[in-house]
A and B are shown apart, each in its own frame.
Chain A
Amino acid sequence: MSDLLFHLFAVFTVACALGVVFNKNAVASALCLLLSLVGVAGLFVLLDAFLLAVLLVLVYAGAVVALFLFIIMLLDMQGGDRKRFTKATLVSSTVAGGLLITGLVSFATRGLNHTTILAEVPVVGNSLRAYAEQLFTVYLLPVQIVGFLLLIAMLGVIVLSKKFEGLEDIK
């Protein structure tokens, strides 16, 4: 049952991810991203990371995709005519794609030999208490740093989106 669900969620996630890339319309891309993230949240549930699944839906699907849609609406951009790729772009993307495929193939063919299944491993990540114990003992300093990072990001966004009256002539 769990295996079937994995395949279901995997195909769903990959299909929606392809939708993000190949949709012409930016709004449709954002909605495909939303569906893809929901698929990933389902995979997290299958991996017994319930807290992370809820957080992914709340933070990504809730806040981030909503922000994307809001910005798309605000900017009101149109697709425009697509230009041909230049020669340099073609060469560099071929090289990059080749490297990526080489990496994936080597990843798929060697180095992975063990076939543990989920039932053999004890579940540790399914309780809030376990996260709290880790976050406030081992990872206390990163928690503080991330808090400051959020504060700095908030200040940065305010500064970026505020219009300064005296600076208009710098353009």
Chain B
Amino acid sequence: MSLLVPSLSAMSALSLAALPGAYAVSLHSYLYLSAVLFAIGFLGVLLRKNTLVIYMCLELMLVASTVALVAFSRFNGVLHGNVFVFFILTVAAAEVAVGLAIIVALFRRRQTVQVEELNALKN
């Protein structure tokens, strides 16, 4: 029971959360999970060079934020967060369609989707 100490990093908090039966799942757990998912998505956006994979990581960040919204909404006993996630899903679908169309147009013009080769605005 005393495993729930204020940990210094979210990663160690997650490894605490990964121990089954260590403590009751509360809003913290969902928020840690959301933050870690967001961080992983952010890491992907920073590390990867392929535009499509960067785009997938952006979607991952969006989904991480929806986890936090649904958790807040559920733990406060209201519906507003869920409705907001509803709108986020709609906008994300539209965004993916437009973004992928842009990537296809880019590939048609430049024959590449690697970000280090897309430097037409450099200098």
Residue numbers of A with Cβ under 8 A of B are 2-4, 6-7, 10-11, 13-14, 17-18, 20-21, 26, 29-30, 33, 36-37, 40, 43-44, 47-49, 51-52, 55-56, 59-60, 63-64, 67-68, 71-72, 74-75, 77, 79-80, 82-83, 93, 96-97, 100-101, 104-105, 107-109, 112, 114-118, 121-125, 130-131, 134-135, 138-139, 142, 146, 149-150, 153-154, 156-157, 160-161, 171
Q: Is the interface of A mostly helix, strand, loop or mixed?
A: helix
Which residue of the partner chain, among A48, A52, A80, A123, contacts B85 with CB atoms under 8 Å? A52
CB <8 Å contact, A116 and B75:
yes
Least CB distance from A158 to B in Å reads 9
- Nearest-neighbour CB distance to chain A for B22, whole angstroms, equals 9
- The minimal Cβ–Cβ distance linking A82 to chain B, given in whole angstroms, is 7
- B19, B52, B83: the one contacting A68 at CB < 8 Å is B52
Report the minimum CB–CB distance from B16 to chain A (whole Å).
10
Q: How large is the interface on B (under 10, 10 to 19, 20 to 34, 35 or more residues)?
A: 35 or more
Question: B83 touching A135 by the CB < 8 A rule?
Answer: yes
CB contacts (< 8 Å) of A60 on chain B: these are: 59, 63, 89, 92
